[in-house]
Chain A
Amino acid sequence: MANFDLNQRYEFSAGAKRWSIILLAIGILSVGYGLFSGHAERTFANLLLNSYYITGLCMAGLFFIAVQYVANAGWATALIRIPSAFSAVLPWAGLVLVAVIVSGLYTHNLYHHWADPDLVNPNSPKFDKLIEGKSALLNLPVFIGSITGFLIIWSLFSRMLRSYSTKEDQIAGIGMHDKSVKFSAIFLVIFGFTSAIFAFQVIMSLEAHWFSTMFAWYNFAALWVSGLSAITLTLIILREQGYFTWINDSHLHDLGKFVFAFSVFWTYIWFSQFLLIYYANMPEETIYFKHRMENGYLPLFWLNLIINFVLPLLILMTRDAKRNFKTMKIVTIILLAGHWLDYYIMIMPGTVGAEHGFGIIEIGTTAGFIGLFMWIMLTSLSKAALVPKNHPYLEESLHHDI
């Protein structure tokens, strides 16, 4: 192992910085264009989509680390600093998400299916009994408070796990590892319950009449596949630039298996939800899919399945494909785009309906969020060594061979 420089650190180069700033600037300009060209709702829907997306990536990073600790998994130790850098973005991504939600609520550009006092006022002609029934959860203080609260709690865990890991670099011994295992387990329990409510609130309440128990796990599946893809893609790009030279095709193979397996898992969840609603054929449930089969959404609805299921299934089926850095790079880019589309189909019909589109606002806002995520994530990555040198499973990971 002497060939590898395990003290290697990532240097956030001027080129990467320039790219992040250019992307961020494009994003800000596009949002400005959207707001002042009379597309405020559409712009807010895009802001919600992208901020939810990157928050999901950060949560996936944190979830990845926690699962590694709790499961005593060793193979990913040599690349664990990438999900760790993802998790470090969580407070910032959460801040942006809350800012988007709050400003969307107060400008009435988001959540208009429930965020209207007339809907819960029995004397108003707009009174809606069903919305009133949900008002214990769907009201501004509880809604904003719980979303903010969840994000703060998760961010605290991301800080904690990251600080244990960097402390471990300084002081050898099992102490920090033990603490990490313990707090990872606590985090996973909290995450199990809170992430469900989080998804119900942030996304499902966009169409506040509709409900599905599966929706939380459906969102988790999307978050997890996109997170795994982003971790893999970041790793491949950094390796191309001369970092992470100790990562071999076995590590990639394992990441590929995860991406493959959870793409199938996502499909399983998607299909179960769809089939059960289709089969029972109850109007209050089927309306969700009806809205996704009209107003030009139908091709996207099926494209979603092709990109996120058929492509990874066929491309990643063989062992060789999962061990090939080029193939994995292409597949992860496809899947990251695919789950953007997945969120698009979750969000747009309930917010802008037939007014949806794909143009400057969509592309520009997404570019801006990529820039933002890149900037903070790479800054965090540069602050610690690329390898947790005192991690008890590091040797296992460096010798990983399957």
Chain B
Amino acid sequence: MSSHHESIIREPLITGTDITYNKITEDVCAPVERMPSKAWWIGFTVAVLGLVLWLVAVGYTFWTGIGAWGLNKTVGWAWDITNFVWWVGIGHAGTLISAILLLFRQSWRNSINRSAEAMTIFAVICAASFIVAHMGRPWVAYWPLPLPNQFGSLWVNFNSPLVWDVFAISTYFSVSLVFWYTGLLPDIATIRDRATGLRRRIYSILSFGWNGSAKTWQRFEAVSLILAGVSTPLVLSVHTIVSMDFATSIVPGWHTTIFPPYFVAGAIFSGFAMVQTLLLIARKVLNFENYITMAHIESMNKIIILTGSIVGVAYGTEFFIAWYSGVQYEQYAFINRATGPYWWAYWSMITCNVISPQLFWFKKIRTSIVASWVLSIFVNIGMWFERFVIIVTSLHRDYLPSSWAMFYPTWVDVAIFIGSLGLFFTLFLLFLRVLPAIAMAEVKLLLKGNSEMSKRKLIADGHAKVPEGFTNRIVIATTATIKNDKKDE
């Protein structure tokens, strides 16, 4: 008797009726081994143009100083920190998928973890670029590190959450990179074994001599679990500390105790939206539809609605306590958000973050690829506005009405933001070209137990206990496949 059992009502994680171990390898390696398609070249050209814009705008900022931005003496943080928090938040989904879902033994993570982790790393790179840029003098970017220096008593202020942030994010980046790369090793080895000539030499070096022995696999499993255990508190700490950049202050709208978990939920929310945005296209263009299935899309949408609702509860709680506290500054900060000169930003945030994701309660919308993609873009926009609202609307009208001001971005602000998207997509598209975008070794684990084929076989052989009233649904779940493969009927 096998000790593992999966209920027949669980949706298969690999669809298709002709999947073999070899086919998985072929399908996943194909985008790396063939010449890039036209679609890839178009995407890459656009992304590189964005990257060039980023280089120009960042270079201009370094040359002239951050006076090139729209900041003023009242609003000292605006798009720079908005973009930083937005990007670092996006990164969180990768770690959630790779680490926390691994600890929870969620096998639907297996086909999406690779690209989500890659996204994490690129998003953190974009986030870090804003930190360096907003320092104004990037050549002294090492000052937040406690290094001995030639300036005498100049030392790091360990009481500052900004310094905690430097530690949190650099640790997070390092561990994410190690986790991602460790996971890549068996798959790089697969590409190595299939390659010839120079490519073989390169992938051979990159695979760190992976030999696929039982001992190697055992160590691989052990190190994955350890890294997952380390990453989990790390990912929570990162956005916690990002939230403390604001919440430790006494600025109304910033200083509220719910910030740490609320920021973490928001980060996972935006991260899953970005994973959805990227993967819904990638699965189509790269022919991964059998591996990144509707079950995956639906699960991610469920996480989006969960975290979106947590964020909604947090918004409600903040508003409620602002009223309950009786503190007039706090009350004004929230009324000003909703009805002040930046009302449009606030209501964009509420619409995109709280209202539109509620559509995912309907299974039809949750399982529609177009709707999922559109709503994921909405969430990305909404979460950008959330950070903008928190930062700019809290700062622009502070305790002293004589110093109230508005923030207007300059072309440099806009160019750096758009450029950072270029940087991100350049890196992501390169990743799709040179590394396997799906963890094939991990997906293969699912073939015997969690695939459509294995489930159909169980039913056909009479080994599955199908509950009454469920039979119809199995047919519905696999209609797409039946259409492609008539002989199966």
A residues at B contact (CB < 8 Å): 72, 74, 129-130, 133-134, 137, 172-175, 177, 185, 189, 192-193, 196-197, 200, 211-217, 257, 264, 268-269, 272-273, 275-277, 279-280, 282, 284, 390, 392-393, 395-396, 398-399, 401-402
Contact = CB atoms under 8 A, between A and B. Distances in A.
A263 to B, nearest CB: 13
Contact of A216 (B244, B317, B361): B317
Contacts, number: 114
Nearest to A186: B361
Interface in B231-276: 233, 236, 240, 244, 247-250, 255-261
B318 interface: yes
Chain A residues touching B, majority SS: helix
Contacts of A212: 257, 321
A100 to B, nearest CB: 23
Contacts of B317: 196, 213, 216
Contact of B247 (A130, A134, A276): A276
A284 B329 CA distance: 13
B332 to A, nearest CB: 14
Contacts of A189: 309
Contacts of A393: 7, 9
Nearest to A73: B104
Contact of B105 (A175, A284, A402): A402
Interface string B369-403: 00000000000000000000000000000000000
Interface residues of B, number: 46
Contacts of A390: 467
A72 B257 contact: no
Contact of A134 (B236, B257, B259, B324): B324
A250 to B, nearest CB: 9
Contacts of B255: 276, 280, 282
B313 interface: yes
- Find the residue from A273, A392, A402 having the highest chain B CB count within 10 A: A392
A282 B325 CA distance: 13
Given A174-B467, A213-B258, A276-B247, A284 B327 contact: yes
A402 B225 CA distance: 13
23 contacts: A129-B326, A174-B9, A175-B468, A175-B469, A196-B313, A197-B320, A200-B320, A200-B324, A215-B257, A217-B258, A217-B261, A268-B260, A272-B240, A272-B257, A276-B255, A276-B257, A279-B244, A280-B249, A392-B470, A399-B2, A399-B4, A399-B5, A402-B105
A399 B3 contact: yes
Contacts of B247: 276, 280
A88 B304 CA distance: 31
Nearest to B468: A173
Contacts of A280: 247-250, 255
Interface string B450-472: 00000000000000010111100
A216 B310 CA distance: 12
A399 to B, nearest CB: 4
A72 B10 contact: yes
